[in-house]
Each structure stands twice: as C-alpha cells, then as structure tokens.
Amino acid sequence: MLSHPKSEPRPALERRRESGAALLVAVLLLALMGIVGLASLDTVMRDRQVAGFSSNAQTALYAADAGVAASLDIIRQEIVGAALAPGDCLTTVLPQTALPNASSYRPDPTAPTNQICMMASAEPCSEIDASIELGQPVYLYTVWNVRSEGLAPGGTAVRVHATAERCHAFNN
C-alpha cells in the first residue's frame, strides 16, 4: 500500500510573511477596477456633452434656415417698383421671430444691413409670358442677398448667408 507523505507544517515565520498577501492583491485589483470605471464614466459624460453641443448647433442652424425661408416669403410677396436697381433693398426687413422649440431667428447682426437686398436683375423670365403693355408688371430674374442668424436655447448662434434667384414682378 502506498502512503502519501504527510506534508510537513511550515514554520510560523513563513506563514506570517504570506498572511495578507491575497488581501493586498484583492484591494489593488478593486482599486484598478474603480479607476477604470471612473475613466469610463468620464468618457461617457464627455460624449453626452459633445452630443448636446452638436444638438444645439443643429437647432440653431434650423432656426437660421427658417429665417432664410421667411426672407424668401418676403421676396415672393413684395412687388418692387421700376426704380429698384441692383444694390437696393426691400423696405420689409426680416423680423426677429421666436419659434415653438424656444429657438429663434433674426437678421444677421454682422451683415452691413438687416434688409433683404437685390444683387442683380437679368433677362425677362422665360416661364412667364408677360404683357409689356404700359401699367402691366414686367417679370425679370432677380438675385437676392439674404442673411439670417439662428439662436438655440443654449445660446448657440449660427449664421446663414444665402443667395436666391426669383422671377420677380417689376411695375412698368
């Protein structure tokens, strides 16, 4: 019969040196895991902050785009007299308007004027067969300069500079 040799008890001095080593390793691993967790949390918070900035900028851009659309409506509705020449501006200005999502648009404050100005007029419009009789409007292609600024609720501002072409009625 084979017998297993009995393990000899270790001296008390060796046992004392090893005591607490497992606890120390466990505490170090827990501290390392805590640091990794905090670093991950910081990364997630920064990503959310960047996403918020992006969302504010997009909201301001949409508000500025609404200002351009309002300017185009003003251009469509206003009949200009024969005396209007390139460089002249419409009498109606883009109003400052608050939108339902708490954003707003207004004329671009960095623009030389807050009015909608004609940059050029060209040939008669080909799609409209207009009468050139006295007193009847004459339809010409016109190019307009539109500048708008959109503001998001967080204070983010975006400026849009657009050029629009329109077949416009001029009084004869």
Question: Which of 32-36, 125-129, 163-167 bottoms out in mean pLDDT, i.e. has the lowest?
Answer: 125-129
In the chain, the percentage of residues whose pLDDT exceeds 90 is 24
Q: Which of 149, 122, 2 is nearest to 65 (CA)?
A: 149
115-130 tens-digit pLDDT: 888 888 777 787 666 5
Q: Is residue 7 part of a domain?
A: no
76-113 tens-digit pLDDT: 887 776 667 788 888 888 888 999 988 999 999 998 88
Q: Is residue 103 part of a domain?
A: yes
pLDDT at 32 over 90: yes
pLDDT at position 129 is: 60
Q: Is residue 48 part of a domain?
A: yes
What are 141's strand-pairing partners? 167
**Other C-beta atoms within 10 Å of 172: how many?**
14
Distance CA 131, CA 94 (A): 32
Phi-psi group of 139: left, alpha or beta (phi > 0 → left; psi -120 to 50 → alpha; rest → beta): beta
Domain count of the chain?
1
Within 8 A by CB and 6+ apart from 95, the residues are 70, 106
pLDDT-based confidence at residue 65 (cuts at 50, 70, 90): very high
Q: Is residue 82 part of a domain?
A: yes
Q: Is residue 1 part of a domain?
A: no
The boundaries of the domain holding residue 71 are 14-170
Q: Is residue 8 part of a domain?
A: no
Q: Is residue 3 part of a domain?
A: no
Q: Is residue 150 part of a domain?
A: yes
